[in-house]
Homo-oligomer: A and B are copies of this chain.
Amino acid sequence: MNTFGNLFRLTSFGESHGAGIGGVIDGCPAGTELDMAFIQQELDRRKPGQSKLTTPRKENDEVQFLSGVYEGKTTGTPIGFIIWNQNQHSSDYDNIKSVYRPSHADYTYQTKYGLRDPRGGGRSSARETIARCVAGAIAKLVLKQYGITIQAYTSQVGSIRLEGDYNAYDLSLTEQNPVRCPDASKAEEMACLIEEVKSKGDTIGGTVSCVIQGVPVGLGEPAFGKLHAALGHAMLTINAAKGFEYGDGFHAGLYRGSEHNDIFFNDKGCISTRTNHSGGIQGGISNGQDIYFKVAFKSVATVLMEQPTVTVEGKETVLKARGRHDPCVLPRAVPIVEAMAAMTILDYYLLNRAYYLKGNSSDI
């Protein structure tokens, strides 16, 4: 259950205050050149301390590859890797060893396992997502060879939201502000809100949107392997995720069928659709149009204010968290959403290739 994927697989391990976070990537096609600068850049997008909008923790997250790479190329064998933990303030967590933090995993872990690593949330820490960014970066490098690109961005913080879908924005501007929102003026508003919330020791949530382009027709499997179900599963495994929708999502039901249907037409010899309410997936299988979806994130559970709670023994008490925490996960969630999308798409790409008989799927 710490393994993700069918043919391209990440098995991850590690706690926030143990030796480090790492993983094993199995099933990466051989001969892929590992662009180390790119991989590091992906980790940097996720790392804390990037701006005043994120936690001031400084973590110099560098990945050490342990296997599966020879002379700069993947060999087809499993890629082990680790990001060593540094800069841990375990004492920050001393006061929460014996109490359950509200809306954290302390209580559920303790009850499930009979014991837990209380330092920094242990395995349930969002620091676990760093392993996903490593695997996602490698998946992106493979997908790039197939002409597939992935771009996520912050589309809502609190009640401040982007109107319109991804076509209304120049997504190449996403990285130009610390919120990772392609609309500079909305980004400014969002940043103000995050700072206001932070000044009160509070936190805020929102949504991340994502677009995948260049996916050939045919990815996704019938019944239980629908491509959007795989994407939804992937996104919902990210810490603090509360919802997933693709295409028109929760608004799809407002349209009548005659409005929602995407009409096919012949686009200079290729079959295409005039609209894309479906979000690039029909019957669970990619149809060659852009795939887009949205992920909801709750506000961070760690607030720097007093909260009533109970101790491990069930005694009522009051907790005041210390430590260095994000007032809003959204900016740092953007690269994680991309990473999970990249792993999922590559996994289904490989699956589809396995079943491909020459002459069938002309696009692939």
Please report A residues at the B interface, Cβ cutoff 8 Å: 1-4, 7, 9, 11-15, 18-24, 26-27, 29-31, 64-68, 70, 73, 75-80, 82, 100, 102-105, 107-109, 111-117, 122-124, 128, 156-159, 197, 202-207, 217-218, 220-226, 228-230, 232-233, 236-237, 242-250, 252-258, 260-266, 269-271, 273, 277-279, 282-287, 296-303, 305, 307-310, 314-316, 350-357, 359-363
Contacts and interface: CB of A to CB of B under 8 A. Distances in A.
A225 B82 contact: no
Contacts of A73: 115
Contacts of A353: 353-354, 356
Contact of A242 (B115, B247, B270): B247
A13 B66 contact: yes
Given A1-B225, A24-B13, A299-B260, A206 B253 contact: yes
Complex A-B, nearest 9 residue pairs according to Cβ-Cβ distance, in ascending order: A105-B283, A205-B253, A243-B245, A1-B225, A114-B360, A13-B80, A1-B221, A203-B257, A354-B354
Given A30-B114, A112-B217, A357-B114, A257 B12 contact: no
B113 A75 contact: yes
Contacts of A3: 3, 9, 11, 26, 224
Given A2-B223, A66-B82, 4 more contacts: A102-B264, A108-B220, A204-B256, A232-B232
A356 B350 CA distance: 9
A228 B232 CA distance: 10
19 contacts: A1-B221, A29-B356, A75-B115, A78-B223, A103-B282, A105-B283, A108-B218, A108-B282, A108-B285, A114-B360, A158-B254, A228-B236, A233-B233, A248-B298, A252-B299, A253-B297, A258-B307, A260-B298, A264-B310
A298 to B, nearest CB: 4
Contacts of A271: 100, 107, 310, 314
B308 A263 contact: yes
Contacts of A270: 314
Contacts of A299: 252-253, 255-257, 260
A11 B14 contact: no
A226 to B, nearest CB: 5
Nearest to A108: B285
A87 B311 CA distance: 51
B350 A354 contact: yes
A114 to B, nearest CB: 3
Contacts of A156: 253
A71 B197 CA distance: 37
A217 B108 contact: yes
A103 B289 CA distance: 12
A244 B236 contact: yes
A350 B355 contact: yes
B278 A103 contact: yes
